[in-house]
Structure 1
Amino acid sequence: MTAVDVQALTAGYDRSTVLDGVDLSIGTGGALGLLGRNGVGKSTLVMTLMGLVAPTSGRVLLDGRDVTGLRPDLVARAGVGLVPQGRRIWAPLTVAETLALAARGHGRRAAAGRFTIDSVYELLPRLRERHGQQAGQLSGGEQQMLAIARALLTDPAVLLLDEPSDGLAPAVVDQIAELLQTLRGEGVTLLLVEQDLHLAFAVCEEIAVMEKGRIVHRCPTPEFRADRATAHRLLGVA
């Protein structure tokens, strides 16, 4: 089955076009790494899928349901979770307050879902240790874990992650990779926007590359890793 099906999606800001006819699909339980140079539209695609940017044309289907142009809260209730770039945690709230608010805000769906506050603490024991600490006082890695936990408590079938490795030490990135692999084992479908190739390769079964608002290349991860010439041409990396 197809969890995410993006068809000829166009979107942008004011009068500028950023997404120029994006076609993209992810199978249920799959993990796709979305790569590309800065400014090609990766974050805009994530925000458009989440309903934070209104598309001008095209369609977004989740498990066959058309959610094109829905408000972000309705997209979330349809089963999409977002881990935004920069984490965007609520600094004055404690870890416990953040998680309680996330779970309460999604009502019956969260209450009946796979992920509860207790199960999230099991996945991320560091958050249990920090449960009474204000989010703004956490380390960068702890804040990223909190952002992921907050998204999980909406009980997402699809999780969108926008550069979760940004600014983090390699050891913390390895922990995030392990967590995302665990979530895949739970059947969560992942769209991972990343600059860190090691994280994308560790988690994702397929790699797609964006250029100028379009998907210009897609292949299985082992094939992409072996094709150094294509990686260099599209990303400027060795």
Structure 2
Amino acid sequence: MTDVVVEALTAGYDRSTVLDGVDLSIGTGGALGLLGRNGVGKSTLIMSLMGIVAPTSGRVLLDGQDVAGRRPDLIARAGVALVPQGRRIWAPLTVAETLALAGRGHGRRWTTDAVLDLLPRLRERLGQQAGQLSGGEQQMLAIARALLTDPTVLLLDEPSDGLAPAIVDQIAELLTTLRGEGVTMLLVEQDLHLAFTVCDEIAVMEKGRIVHLTGTPEFRADRATAHRLLGVA
């Protein structure tokens, strides 16, 4: 079980600063929904936490241990897993091959059997190439791939992207189950229903900073603030 604390995190690309002193915290087993308009830095934050983008300053603490600036493989070994936007599954591989590759060197808590019990649809598709799966099945496979690295922290970037509402409801149910297993989550999402269902806190980002942070019930009740920050009713 892991808590996450981000302190004054700054990052960007070349000479451009995208994250401008981000501060946030997620308690062990908690879920924070990160909202904001396009281009404000949400995906950059996810990639910085995973080590794909190197921060220029600030700290990322996992149970008090600073992992900011480490290589992605070392951050993964520290217990962080990424479900990327667009899923990025390995299309030529079968479901079984994907799970076998993702689970190499792991299997302490999340074994292949445990993941397939959680996602029985994938068990029915073990021999099928990942690129031939439906969008919802590919998203399930992306989550399964992440779980097989045995994470205590799960970073999810727009998991509802391109999916039908019924599939989004299945994703919400799955993520709620994972929270019950003690997995700490940061969920970047445009689908407010998914974020509100899964997360106990909501943060809003503007211009590379967290400008609003509150409990989910309070955010849902404050429609004026939601409209001002997100342009939604």
- TM-score tier, shorter chain, comes to over 0.9
1:223 is aligned, of 209, 218, 226, to 218
Q: Aligned AA for 1:228? A: R
- Quote the residue 1:23 is aligned against: 23
2:230 equivalent in structure 1: 235
CA contact (8 A) 1:10 1:19 kept: yes
**Change over 3 Å in CA distance of 1:53–1:204 after alignment to 2:** same
Which structure 2 segments of 5+ residues have no match?
none
Match of 1:43 in 2: 43
How far residue 200 of structure 1 moved from its aligned partner, in angstroms, is 0.2
Q: Map of 1:144-223 to 2, 5 A cutoff?
A: 144-223=139-218
Q: In the alignment, is the contact (CA less than 8 A) between 1:2 and 1:25 conserved in 2? A: no
Deviation at 1:111, TM superposition (A): 2.4
Give yes or no for contact 2:2–2:152 (8 Å, CA) kept in 1.
no
Secondary structure at the counterpart of residue 205 of structure 2 = strand
| Distance of 2:107 and 2:210 partners within structure 1 | 37
Shift of 1:14: 0.6
- Give the AA of the match of 1:60: V
SS in 2 for 1:82: strand
1:111 pairs with 2:107: yes
Q: Structure 1: 5+ residue runs without aligned partners?
A: none
Are 1:72 and 2:72 counterparts?
yes
Quote the offset at 1:168 in angstroms.
Answer: 0.0
Letter of the structure 2 residue corresponding to residue 53 of structure 1: V
How many angstroms does 1:225 deviate by? Answer: 0.3
**Cα root mean square deviation, aligned:** 0.8
- Taking structure 1 as the reference length, the TM-score comes to 0.97
Percent of residue pairs bearing the same amino acid type: 87
Deviations 1:158-215 (A, max 9, x none): 0000000000000000000000000000000010000000000000000000000000
Counterpart of 2:129 (choices 127, 130, 134) is 134
Contact 2:2 2:153 survives alignment (8 Å):
no
Counterpart-to-counterpart distance in 2, 1:12 and 1:233:
26
TM-score normalised over the length of structure 2: 0.99
The residue type equivalent to 1:226 in the other structure is: A
